[in-house]
A and B are shown apart, each in its own frame.
Chain A
Amino acid sequence: MSIEVKGVSKRFGDFVALDDVNVSLPTGQLTALLGPSGGGKSTLLRIIAGLDSADTGTVTIAGTEATHLPPQKRNVGFVFQHYAVFKHMTVAKNVAFGLEIRKRPKAEIAAKVDELLRLVHLSQFAHRLPSQLSGGQRQRMALARALAVEPTVLLLDEPFGALDAKVRKELREWLRRLHDEVHVTTVFVTHDQEEAMEVADEIVVINEGRVEQVGTPDELYDEPANDFVMGFLGDTTVLNGVRLRPHDVHLSRAPELAGAAEGVISRLLRVGFEVRATVLTDDGEEVHVVLTRTHARQLELREGDRVWVTPASGAASVPPMVATAG
């Protein structure tokens, strides 16, 4: 039940949304398409669903050539960012929609709707209208509706994008647990790297219409293929001409390690449990360092203090590309 995308390109006028994309999304896993806005990830998802058509290339879903199939024949479940609920139908009717279209027996539909509403914790809202639900509840209903037709793949387009931060966090944990229960091949689009890393088994990083890297969250974080992936997955800084994460910089008040760069703390910023320090090295580099609050207190750091910085052992790093460095 995997999804194979081969050589897919898509243009909107002069804008190249997808440029010869090849990607294979494995069966039964939760895959995130991660990238900045306008990078082409939603377009790729919509092409897989059949809601947009590719200019060139092919899409194969579960071994079936689907490139020219209309969306209703692909057996995919699609969840939209803005829910796309059927406003005039009750919650139960929304969930039952796909089954009624398929002309399943009434008793079977009722049983299935009941089961799904229990799964998404909306049983008590079955006879409400969507307008009486909160955003998070609507999206859970949309998910139940998509799952009702037992799709071969479930596609979610920025499913939590329209929700507030707290609900978003709850829902993505819930999605992860749901996937562990249902095991349907799931692909979701997000621009939030934390969301992708927390929920997904595998992440496909897409930027400017191209796939930058495919891998597990750990692979991407520890061995980014390039500067872009490294920069997109978290903050970066440059030390001794090498790009690395600010929390992978070791900071000390004495030259303990060989090759440490000497500098002066130009700025200290405390945000909750972390302390962000900017060190101006004698070589003229501006190095960002993140320490825990406890560590910073132990070192008794003050602005203007002289310190030594060096990459911590085991730090992931890539040489910065000239074009984007600095």
Chain B
Amino acid sequence: MASTSSTAVGNGSPVVKWVLRLLVVGYLLMLVIWPTAYVVRHTFADGLTGIQEALADPDVVHALKLTVEVAVISVLINTVFGVGMSLLLVRYTFIGKRALSVLIDLPLSVSPVVVGLALILVYNGRFGWFGPWLEDHGLQVVFARPGMVMATCFVILPLVIREIVPVLEELGDDQEQAARSLGANGWQSFWRVTLPGIKWAVVYGVVLSLARALGEFGAIKVVAGNVGGDTQVATVLVQQKYQNFEQQTAYSVAFMLVFAAVLCLVVVALLRPKEGKER
């Protein structure tokens, strides 16, 4: 914007501008930057030894592996369903569409702990509605990986869909109709036209849900059972180590989680400008 512009926001005095900037920066500093920096500082208080020691603990290694495994599986499932549900919500009309749309936002408002409890009620092997039958058929859901994946899927459900739906709406179905008239069947039109059109929304959704899945705590804590070296994920491990006064390990693992999340965002930020040039 030119300095001569007289828009309502742009014409404040320099003093107001600086006060506003300080306010925003101060807010971010107190809320995000300082605490994160604190974690980083504690992690590297003794150089790399903290991380080395943490990685020497088999429980830590297992927890990290498990976290990645659960997150990746959940994100894969969530991406496939997310794209499918977005198409359903935008391209088709059916009874109960609005109800479905509201339902998809539910995980944003319901506490993850409640989600975990609900899953236990349904899939618990002893008194759940569905659990005993599943366990009779050799599938343990609660206190095992299926339950952890389900809990994570529930929590990240809206993230992909809410990224894709607006993009799909803006895209319209003109290009899909053109593809159909040129001989493409539904599948070809999806792969060649729709998916490239929503590519960036999908990438954003995937990264967001990956970051969220890596950091999930509440639901997974209830469902997983937290047996160290078996069903304990990294976030829960951080809490446990911290409470057991193994603070160096707790900080190190916390740092790794933060690092992974920041890495996700950096990857997106690096991919994004290229897209801008293309357009």
> Which A residues form the contact surface with B (CB < 8 A)?
49-51, 70-72, 74-78, 80, 82-89, 97-98, 101-102, 129, 131, 142, 145-146, 148-149
Contact with A along B167-180 (1 / 0, CB 8 A): 00000001101111
Q: How many whole Å from B198's CB to the nearest CB in chain A?
A: 10
Q: How many whole Å from B170's CB to the nearest CB in chain A?
A: 11
B193 touches A86 (CB 8 A): yes
Q: How many whole Å from A159's CB to the nearest CB in chain B?
A: 13
A88: chain B residues within 8 A (beta carbon): 196-197, 199
> Which B residues form the contact surface with A (CB < 8 A)?
174-175, 177-185, 188, 192-193, 196-197, 199, 278-279
Report if A87-B178 is in contact (Cβ < 8 Å); known contacts: A72-B184, A72-B185, A101-B183. no
B174 touches A84 (CB 8 A): yes
Complex Cα distance A70/B184, Å? 10
Kindly list the 7 A-B residue pairs having the minimum CB-CB distance in the complex, ordered from nearest.
Answer: A84-B174, A98-B182, A78-B181, A84-B178, A88-B196, A71-B180, A101-B183
Query: How many residue pairs, one in A and one in B, have C-beta atoms under 8 Å apart?
Result: 71
Report if A70-B180 is in contact (Cβ < 8 Å); known contacts: A101-B188, A129-B278, A131-B279. yes
A145 touches B182 (CB 8 A): yes
Residue among A70, A97, A148 with the most chain B CB within 10 A? A97
- Ordered by A's residue number, 9 sampled pairs between the chains whose C-beta atoms are within 8 Å are A51-B181, A71-B181, A74-B181, A83-B174, A86-B179, A86-B193, A87-B197, A88-B196, A98-B183
Q: How many whole Å from B272's CB to the nearest CB in chain A?
A: 15
B188: chain A residues within 8 A (beta carbon): 101
Residue among B177, B178, B199 with the most chain A CB within 10 A? B178
Q: How many whole Å from A49's CB to the nearest CB in chain B?
A: 6
- Classify the interface of chain B: helix, strand, loop or mixed: helix
Q: How many whole Å from B38's CB to the nearest CB in chain A?
A: 44
A77 touches B174 (CB 8 A): no
- A80-B178, A86-B193 known; 16 new pairs, CB 8 Å cut-off, are A50-B180, A50-B181, A51-B180, A70-B185, A71-B180, A72-B184, A78-B178, A85-B178, A87-B175, A89-B196, A97-B182, A98-B183, A101-B184, A101-B188, A102-B183, A146-B182
Chain B residue nearest to A83 (CB atoms) is B174
B183: chain A residues within 8 A (beta carbon): 72, 75, 98, 101-102, 149
Report if A101-B278 is in contact (Cβ < 8 Å); known contacts: A51-B177, A84-B177, A88-B197. no
A97: chain B residues within 8 A (beta carbon): 179, 182, 184, 192
B181 touches A76 (CB 8 A): yes
Chain B residue nearest to A145 (CB atoms) is B182
Complex Cα distance A89/B188, Å? 15
Q: How many whole Å from B229's CB to the nearest CB in chain A?
A: 47
B184: chain A residues within 8 A (beta carbon): 72, 97, 101
Chain B residue nearest to A51 (CB atoms) is B177
Q: How many whole Å from A308's CB to the nearest CB in chain B?
A: 56
Complex Cα distance A146/B180, Å? 11
Complex Cα distance A209/B179, Å? 28
